[in-house]
């Protein structure tokens, strides 16, 4: 149970269900690394501990130097391991085959100087090459391996480990494309790798990162059921007659990945969903017969229906094998037979596999074995070798690929791929599908240090093929066109977010045009077209009035709602009026209420020294008027609003426009505070009039 693969957890859940159903089934779970208590609790089992012999391993950290490439860092790590452990083989952990090949080239001179044998170890190698890596050699050996040597393969004679601390994992990004990402290995994986150095004697481990980096890493890897896509798991469950919720799980499947699996299986026609119950369709039962991912099963099923079953099986086997060309990623050894399908030239070369140097022999044999296994699941009348040439079957194969990858449809322009599910990717420069406007993105990868996904295998499709899918829909929408600078009506046939066909018209309903224009402007752009300050002041007056007994219709006075009313009847920003927001809010409450509002909560009040002093309304404080103190001469009591019930807060300003007093009681201010303030103001502003009796005096002229 070390790696918690999805198939292992599924098998455990199925066996546990039979056990709890009364069958006499004995379950023994073994692991050298797993926390035993949760597993024992799940199985109602006892814990038996068997101690193994483990030698101590000394660990040191050797972080990268500034801007140091990984292969050079690995070379320094191997040298450090040679210095620490003068005997025994050295096991180096790297994330993938590409890094292993680059590190081997970098270490050639070191190997010659130290009399070392370099041996790669990863899944794509032949059985003999893998055997050579794990078997004891005549010279000291450096095995450069992926995490296959972490638990799946035991390498004898290792006394030192050099760990880059990285691992390659399949991830599904926001764009809906699954890709391989290089991520940091968990602390549990690091410990498992280090333990490989302590099998035969005291060992050494060189970690190519800092101790602080190690401490910040995830403690353990998540079970595969919670960290990977689950379409094959879900299809297997349903084909056996089980619903996901009907099983007890050691770790429940991720709701996110389970939901994505349902969407995919629905898209390829494998399941229907009714009242949260999943049911296999006839197509789903046919797909489940093939021992491959449901996508590839859908490819074969569609190929059989189009009488191209044998080549569809070969395509499925090739797609399952991923990297087929001899020489690894990024090297093309052929002139493509078609610019419509990247993998077509590979398929053609498989059919002429006798050509020297065209394919990696072991990979080709693996593909042929997988193809033959898939052919056994096709009815005898459909599995004969194709009589037609590849060019005659190409269109049917591309249609079959669409049936398997309906969620990978994209449009292409200048190397940029816009995906039907939203998001985008870049086209791989090595793709032969350069000019096709509509494509399928069959494979993708995440480039180191970049967020953008790279579409590495494309297939051209015809947009009319999409009309057969249930996800196609007709859409009619009213929206603002940036190119035409006005609101238009657009009719479109959509596949996801992509338009298969569309037309535009200026014949737009006025109400809908206003809504579309308001959506385009939004709150962020409203200030470009309207007096926002005037609108906010008017809205605050109305809110104050309502709170103090003013009767007015209850309306939504938010900026977004009033903006929609202000845009009614307008089809472009040139049709808008500057004061439109105030007018729109007035229309909502009724023009007859506007005059009453002016009397109840006026925008201005008259003072002896000022005919129109603005009143400020705000939700943060009481209404106030701010003016020079001398403007209030001749006034015994301050102005009131709301039918005389609410006194205004008065900000009495000195000649320097700073408040010397803030009050609602003007009469009390004249009596208690003005005499002392008068003395200070008269001293500082001697050229201004400061009468002893301000109530009996007239304001001086400005």
Binned at pLDDT 50, 70 and 90, residue 286 comes out as very high
Binned at pLDDT 50, 70 and 90, residue 548 comes out as very high
Question: Is the model's pLDDT at 338 over the cut of 50?
Answer: no
Question: Is the model's pLDDT at 177 over the cut of 90?
Answer: no
Binned at pLDDT 50, 70 and 90, residue 327 comes out as very low
* CA 493, 494, 499, 504 torsion-angle sign: positive
The torsion of the CA quartet 205, 211, 215, 217, rounded to 10 degrees, works out to -70
Residue partners of 561: CB distance under 8 A and separation at least 6: 555
The mean of the pLDDT values for the chain is: 87
Give the number of other CB atoms < 10 A from CB of residue 653. 17
CA distance 29 to 36: 9
Strands 604-607 and 610-616: antiparallel
Residue 663, judged by CB atoms within 10 A of its CB (0-12, 13-18, 19+), counts as middle
- The stretch 419-436 carries a mean pLDDT of 86
- The stretch 406-417 carries a mean pLDDT of 91
The answer to whether the beta carbons of residues 64 and 116 sit under 8 Å apart is no
Residue partners of 96: CB distance under 8 A and separation at least 6: 122, 146, 168, 180, 182
CA distance 598 to 50: 89
Looking at residue 288, the DSSP 8-state letter turns out to be: H
Binned at pLDDT 50, 70 and 90, residue 328 comes out as very low
Listing DSSP states for 128-193 in one string gives: HHHHHHHS--SSEEEEEE-THHHHT-PPTTEEEEEE--EEEEEEE-TTS-EEEEEEEPPHHHHHHH
CA distance 258 to 280: 16
pLDDT at 470: 84
pLDDT at 324: 42
With tokens 């009026």, the residue in question is: 577
Question: Is the model's pLDDT at 116 over the cut of 90?
Answer: yes
- The stretch 297-308 carries a mean pLDDT of 94
Binned at pLDDT 50, 70 and 90, residue 84 comes out as confident
Q: Is 414 left (phi over 0), alpha (psi -120 to 50) or beta?
A: left
In the chain, the N- to C-terminal Cα span, in Å, equals 91
- The stretch 39-63 carries a mean pLDDT of 89
CA distance 15 to 624: 77
pLDDT at 361: 64
Query: Coil, strand or helix: which one is 489?
Result: strand
- The stretch 295-307 carries a mean pLDDT of 94
What pLDDT digit, counting tens, does each position of 630-653 carry?
A: 999 999 999 999 999 999 999 999
Half-sphere exposure of 301 toward its Cβ, with a 13 Å CA cutoff?
24
Question: Is the model's pLDDT at 542 over the cut of 70?
Answer: yes
CA distance 266 to 295: 11
Query: Coil, strand or helix: which one is 494?
Result: strand
pLDDT at 492: 92
CA distance 583 to 595: 13
Question: Is the model's pLDDT at 447 over the cut of 80?
Answer: no
Binned at pLDDT 50, 70 and 90, residue 178 comes out as low
Question: Is the model's pLDDT at 186 over the cut of 50?
Answer: yes
The alpha-carbon radius of gyration of the chain (Å, integer) is 38
Which one has a higher pLDDT value, 90 or 19? 90
pLDDT at 333: 27
Q: What percent of the chain has pLDDT over 90?
A: 50
Q: DSSP strand E in 327-452: where?
A: 409-413, 416-419, 424-427, 438-446
Half-sphere exposure of 168 toward its Cβ, with a 13 Å CA cutoff?
21
235 phi/psi in degrees, rounded to 5: -65, -40
pLDDT at 368: 84
What pLDDT digit, counting tens, does each position of 500-533 carry?
A: 998 999 988 888 888 889 888 888 888 888 889 9
Closest by Cα among 344, 338, 461, 455 to 403: 461
Pinpoint the alpha helices (H) of 482-569. Answer: 510-529, 532-547, 559-566
- The stretch 149-153 carries a mean pLDDT of 77
* CA 463, 465, 470, 473 torsion-angle sign: positive
CA distance 77 to 142: 12
Half-sphere exposure of 224 toward its Cβ, with a 13 Å CA cutoff?
17
CA distance 345 to 334: 7
Sheet holding 486-495, edge to edge: 472-481, 486-495, 498-505
Question: Is the model's pLDDT at 357 over the cut of 50?
Answer: no
CA distance 188 to 190: 5
pLDDT at 212: 95
Paired tokens of 88: 């025994």
CA distance 681 to 332: 90
- The stretch 190-195 carries a mean pLDDT of 92
- The stretch 140-152 carries a mean pLDDT of 88
What pLDDT digit, counting tens, does each position of 568-614 carry?
A: 888 888 888 766 899 989 988 888 888 899 999 999 999 999 999 99
Paired tokens of 100: 């292993």
pLDDT at 336: 33
- DSSP bridge partners of 91: 143, 161
pLDDT at 325: 39
What pLDDT digit, counting tens, does each position of 377-394 carry?
A: 887 766 556 667 888 899
Looking at residue 259, the DSSP 8-state letter turns out to be: H
pLDDT at 165: 95
CA distance 407 to 126: 34
259 phi/psi in degrees, rounded to 5: -65, -40
H or E element in which residue 605 lies: strand 604-607
- The stretch 244-255 carries a mean pLDDT of 91
Paired tokens of 391: 């060019």
């Amino acid at each position: 149970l070390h790696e918690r693969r999805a198939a292992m957890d599924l098998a455990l859940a199925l066996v546990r269900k039979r056990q709890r159903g009364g069958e006499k089934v004995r379950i023994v779970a073994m692991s050298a690394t797993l926390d035993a208590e949760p597993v024992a609790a799940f199985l109602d089992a006892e814990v038996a501990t068997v101690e193994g012999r483990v030698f101590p391993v000394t660990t040191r950290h050797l972080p990268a130097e500034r801007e140091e490439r990984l292969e050079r860092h690995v070379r320094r790590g191997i040298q450090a391991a040679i210095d620490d452990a003068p005997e025994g083989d050295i096991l180096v952990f790297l994330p993938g085959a590409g890094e292993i090949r680059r590190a081997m080239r970098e270490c050639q001179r070191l190997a010659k100087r130290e009399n070392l044998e370099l041996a790669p170890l990863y899944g794509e190698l032949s059985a003999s090459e893998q055997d050579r890596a794990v078997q004891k050699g005549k010279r000291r050996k450096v095995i450069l391996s992926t995490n296959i040597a972490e638990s799946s393969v035991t390498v004898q004679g290792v006394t030192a480990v050099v760990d880059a601390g990285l691992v390659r994992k399949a991830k599904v990004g926001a764009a809906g494309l699954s890709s391989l990402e290089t991520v940091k290995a968990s602390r549990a994986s690091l410990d498992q790798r280090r333990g490989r150095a302590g099998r035969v004697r005291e060992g050494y481990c060189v970690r190519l990162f800092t101790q602080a980096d190690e401490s910040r890493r995830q403690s353990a890897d998540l079970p595969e059921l919670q960290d990977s896509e689950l379409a094959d798991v879900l299809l297997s469950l349903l084909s056996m007659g089980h619903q996901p919720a009907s099983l007890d799980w050691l770790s429940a499947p991720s709701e996110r990945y389970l939901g994505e699996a349902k969407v995919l299986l629905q898209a390829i026609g494998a399941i229907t969903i009714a009242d949260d119950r999943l049911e296999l369709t006839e197509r789903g039962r046919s797909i489940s017969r093939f021992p491959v991912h449901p996508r590839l099963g859908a490819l074969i099923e569609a190929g059989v229906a189009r009488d191209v079953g044998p080549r569809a099986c070969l395509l499925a086997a090739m797609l399952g094998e991923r990297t087929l060309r001899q020489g690894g990623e990024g090297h093309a050894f052929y002139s493509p037979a078609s610019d419509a399908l990247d993998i077509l030239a590979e398929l053609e070369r498989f059919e002429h596999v006798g050509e020297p140097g065209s394919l990696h022999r072991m990979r080709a044999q693996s593909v042929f074995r997988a193809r033959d296994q898939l052919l056994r699941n096709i009815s005898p009348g459909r599995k004969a070798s194709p009589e037609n040439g590849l060019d005659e079957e190409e269109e049917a194969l591309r249609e079959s690929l669409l049936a398997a990858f309906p969620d990978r449809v994209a449009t292409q322009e200048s190397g940029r791929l816009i995906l039907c599910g939203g998001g985008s990717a870049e086209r791989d420069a090595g793709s032969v599908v350069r000019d096709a406007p509509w494509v399928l993105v069959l494979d993708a990868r995440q480039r180191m240090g970049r967020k953008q996904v790279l579409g590495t295998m494309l297939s051209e499709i015809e947009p009319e093929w999409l009309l057969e899918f249930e996800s196609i829909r007709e859409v009619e929408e009213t929206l603002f066109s940036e190119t035409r600078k006005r609101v238009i009506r657009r009719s479109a046939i959509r596949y996801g977010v992509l338009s298969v066909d569309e037309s535009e018209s200026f014949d737009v309903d006025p109400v809908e045009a206003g809504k579309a224009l308001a959506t385009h402007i939004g709150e962020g752009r409203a200030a470009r077209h309207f007096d926002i300050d005037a609108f906010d002041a008017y809205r605050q007056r109305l809110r104050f009035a309502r709170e103090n007994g003013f009767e007015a219709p209850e309306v939504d006075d938010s900026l977004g709602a009033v903006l929609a009313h202000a845009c009614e009847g307008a089809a472009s920003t040139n049709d808008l009026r500057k004061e439109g927001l105030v007018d729109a809010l007035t229309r909502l409450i009724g023009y007859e209420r506007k005059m009453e509002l002016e009397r109840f909560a006026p925008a201005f009040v008259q003072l002896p020294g000022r005919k129109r002093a603005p009143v400020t309304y705000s939700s943060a404080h009481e209404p106030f008027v701010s003016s020079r103190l001398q403007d209030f001469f001749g006034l015994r009591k301050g102005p009131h609003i709301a039918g005389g019930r609410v006194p205004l807060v008065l900000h009495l300003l000195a000649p320097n426009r700073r408040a010397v007093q803030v009050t609602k009681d003007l009469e009390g201010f004249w009596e208690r505070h003005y005499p002392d303030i008068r003395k200070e103001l008269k001293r500082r502003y001697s050229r201004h009039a400061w009468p002893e009796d301000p109530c009996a005096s007239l304001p001086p002229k400005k």
